């Protein structure tokens, strides 16, 4: 007998569809950002402990979370960049550590849900970048990455050490 015998098939179907194509609907994306916007109050406490605390991804992440908190509909400007997702992941990890050191017990279910939301954001980001026909990745040895939308070009073979690492 399954644990979730009371779960309706529609809920399972929706979850399966999100996992199948890794793309979140605009409403699901907004709901996840609104959940993370509840952590904004803690950002000021943990930001000094993060690497590069005054960089723009942290500032833009805060702005997007504040906008998500006050908006009712999903907007394109709410889409997070990968660096903002990494900052979000590190910030949430620092917030949970801060709470733990203060004696607050975070239920495993809550920390698991937070981790699932972050993974969903990452998968959504990578799903969108996989659909981008303008992104060109050459042979692994050259690692030439060109993003024509942003004008960003990275050629590690020119700026690497002897082992070929950045």
Reported pTM: 0.61
Residue 6 to residue 2: CA distance in whole angstroms: 9
* Each residue's pLDDT expressed in tens, for the chain with a length of 166 residues: 444 444 444 443 444 344 556 678 888 889 999 999 988 888 877 877 777 666 778 888 888 999 998 888 888 888 898 889 988 998 898 888 888 888 888 888 888 888 899 999 988 888 776 554 444 343 333 333 333 334 444 444 444 444 444 4
Q: Yes or no: say if 126 and 111 are a contact pair by the CB < 8 Å rule.
A: no
Query: How far is residue 163's CA from residue 147's CA, in Å, rounded to a whole number?
Result: 25
* Residue the block writes with tokens 């400007």: 77
What is the spatial distance between Cα 152 and Cα 139, in angstroms, rounded to a whole number? 18
Q: Which residue has the tokens 């009712």?
A: 72
């Amino acid at each position: 007998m399954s644990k979730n015998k009371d779960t309706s098939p529609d809920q399972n179907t929706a979850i399966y569809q999100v996992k199948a194509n890794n793309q979140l609907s605009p409403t699901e994306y907004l709901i996840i950002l609104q959940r993370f916007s509840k952590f904004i109050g803690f950002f000021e406490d943990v930001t000094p402990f993060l690497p590069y605390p005054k960089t723009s991804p942290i500032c833009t992440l805060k702005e997007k979370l504040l906008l998500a908190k006050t908006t009712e509909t999903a907007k394109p400007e709410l889409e997070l960049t990968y660096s903002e997702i990494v900052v979000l992941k590190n910030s949430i990890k620092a917030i949970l550590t801060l709470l733990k050191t203060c004696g607050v017990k975070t239920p495993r279910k809550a920390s698991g849900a937070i981790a699932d939301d972050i993974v969903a954001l990452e998968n959504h980001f990578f799903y969108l970048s996989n659909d981008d026909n303008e992104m060109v990745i050459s042979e692994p040895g050259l690692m030439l990455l060109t993003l024509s939308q942003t004008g960003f070009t990275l050629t590690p073979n020119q700026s690497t050490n002897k082992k070929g690492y950045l």
